[in-house]
Structure 1
Amino acid sequence: MHQTPVCRRIVLLGAGRVAQHLGPALWRAGHAVTHIWSRTPASAAALAAQVPGAVPVTSLALPAADLYILCVPDGAVSAVLATAEFPPGALVVHTAGALPLAVFAAYPAVRGGVLYPLQTFSAGRSIDWPTIPLCVEAATAADQELLLQVACSLSQVVELVATPQRQALHVAAVFACNFTNHLLGIGHALLQEAVLPFGLLEPLIRETVHKALAHPPFTVQTGPAVRHDAATLARHEAMLTAHPSWQQIYKQLTASIQGQQEPQPSNNELPPRL
């Protein structure tokens, strides 16, 4: 699809969870991560120790490089851009799903871009980079091509995604990942109260995810809400009286499920149940 990736000199700004995974991955892909900056010097030093050749720096007067990658919280991107001293015309990208490319408009001395990895990053978890979708955006064709080459050196799933689509993707990811994890947390807490192991839910969780990946998820919806099982719904709501915020979530999700078109049985089969 693109030319064989060439070694790029890359500076990482930030040493948090994204940088902790991205830095070593870039080195393994053949790039030279030359410097790592963090507002916490110990964090920059710790990450540099994991990336051969990388030098931790405390100054934002940055050395020359082919690419500068901002791995800082969304709210810190503008502050770093305003404070850092990039070489004139530097190509600087952020890794955020929700921030527009236009965040760079106030800084005409740099060329802006986006390299957004669609994954959740946690300490102690390994990342299978070739499978991670990487979303690329840039203002010029030349910068786009450079970012595509870097992205393709890391992943086999690389897409050009403009800001509006990427922001929609980020919202979808919050529903699919963050909200789902919160709901799993509620399930975990309820089982703890009932003195039952969370592992009882594992086969159910796996089957739910497998079906949602194999079919449009709304078409394989199960449970008392989609069946309009009023008696069971009322029982569940009563059991959640001690947790009014969870009870409200239960009611809102029930209403949302019932607001979607119900799955249509085929071959005289009943809808799937839970």
Structure 2
Amino acid sequence: MKISIIGAGNIAWHLAKALEQADMDIIEVYSRDRRKAKSITQELYQSDATNSLNFKDSEAELFVMAVSDNAIEEVAAQIELPEESILIHTSGSVPLEVLEITKKMNPDCILGVFYPLMTFTKGKNVAFRTVPICIEGDTSETTHILSKIAKKVSNEVYEVNSQDRKVLHLAAVFACNFTNHLFALSKEILNEEGLNFEILKPLISETLNKGMAAKHPAEVQTGPAVRRDSNTIETHRQLIKDDEDLLKVYDTLTESIQDWHK
């Protein structure tokens, strides 16, 4: 299958490489800044960089919109596609129906979603075979096509509708983005006192492993909040009393843990 990638960010970089490694042809990569598109095409076998959304003469059959959530509708309204092509986006939080606007200019195209549920950083490879891919098509036939493509790059393929995908994305933000932010706050606390973040890494690793192995992560919750150790909690609060934002985070999480374990 011949594919065009719309976008040149983290997901675009990873998907382009994964699809090409699965013997699909990435024939072009789009970015408004052609230099960004070229930063991806130069890592592919034979692919052109473009800054035009006019793909009427493209040989691609599948167009993968790997752009920011805020840009999906705008790009869908502007893109010009060959007849009977497939247009998909890769967002967890944007419903499939947002792509309907593209049918004003491309009435015979078919639409879908191809959402890889993973944190991506451009330049850092991931084991794509283990990445869950959530697919949705505007028809059962489209879903079948996307399933075949997804199974070429991943062993974890799920049919998920737009509403359920939003819920998955929300849960992923808690599990991934918020967790990483807490790592950053922990590092800053240590930096203030000249202490090394490396000391915490075995604890972080064990916490993640234990939480994933448990029937429910709440079963393995530890710490002063779940013990209702008010002396330790107050000691911590005094250490960060001059940082109102950090104190607010500490109090909110402490209260959340205690409410859960009443």
Which band: TM-score by shorter chain?
over 0.9
Residue 234 (1) aligns with residue 215 (2): no
Q: Which residue of 1 aligns with 2:118?
A: 119
Which ranges of structure 2 fall in alignment gaps of 5 or more residues? none
The offset of 1:145, in angstroms, is 1.0
The offset of 1:20, in angstroms, is 1.0
Amino acid in structure 2 at the alignment position of 1:193? E
The offset of 1:24, in angstroms, is 1.4
> How do residues 154-193 of structure 1 correspond to structure 2 at under 5 angstroms?
154-193=153-192
Q: Which residue of 1 aligns with 2:92?
A: 97
Per-residue displacement from partner, 1:58-98 (whole Å, max 9, x unpaired)?
Answer: 22111142210001101011111111111244211100110
Per-residue displacement from partner, 1:18-47 (whole Å, max 9, x unpaired)?
Answer: 111111111110101111111110011121
Tell me, what secondary structure is at the counterpart of 2:238?
helix
Q: Which residue of 2 aligns with 1:198?
A: 197
Q: Which residue of 2 aligns with 1:260?
A: 260
Aligned length: 255
> How do residues 129-168 of structure 1 correspond to structure 2 at under 5 angstroms?
129-168=128-167
Tell me, what secondary structure is at the counterpart of 2:261?
coil
Deviates more, 1:230-239 or 1:177-186: 230-239
TM-score by length of 2: 0.94
TM-score by length of 1: 0.90
The CA distance in 2 between the partners of 1:142 and 1:34, in whole Å, is 24
Deviates more, 1:69-78 or 1:47-56: 47-56
The CA distance in 1 between the partners of 2:159 and 2:130, in whole Å, is 16
Asked if 2 retains the 8 angstrom alpha-carbon contact of 1:21 and 1:121, the reply is yes
Q: Which residue of 2 aligns with 1:220?
A: 220
Return the match for 1:37 from 30, 33, 36.
30
Q: Which residue of 2 aligns with 1:48?
A: 41
Deviates more, 1:109-118 or 1:183-192: 109-118
Tell me, what secondary structure is at the counterpart of 1:121?
coil
Select the structure that is richer in helix.
2
Per-residue displacement from partner, 1:104-124 (whole Å, max 9, x unpaired)?
Answer: 233332322100011111133
Q: Which residue of 2 aligns with 1:4?
A: none
Query: Runs of 4+ in structure 1 displaced over 3 angstroms?
Result: none
The CA distance in 1 between the partners of 2:44 and 2:167, in whole Å, is 33
Tell me, what secondary structure is at the counterpart of 1:127?
coil
The CA distance in 2 between the partners of 1:222 and 1:100, in whole Å, is 38
The CA distance in 1 between the partners of 2:133 and 2:141, in whole Å, is 18
Which ranges of structure 1 fall in alignment gaps of 5 or more residues? 1-7, 263-274
The CA distance in 2 between the partners of 1:157 and 1:100, in whole Å, is 21
The CA distance in 1 between the partners of 2:61 and 2:253, in whole Å, is 47
Return the match for 2:50 from 35, 39, 57.
57
Return the match for 2:79 from 76, 84, 99.
84
Asked if 2 retains the 8 angstrom alpha-carbon contact of 1:137 and 1:161, the reply is yes
Asked if 2 retains the 8 angstrom alpha-carbon contact of 1:134 and 1:155, the reply is yes
Residue 71 (1) aligns with residue 66 (2): yes
Tell me, what secondary structure is at the counterpart of 2:101?
coil
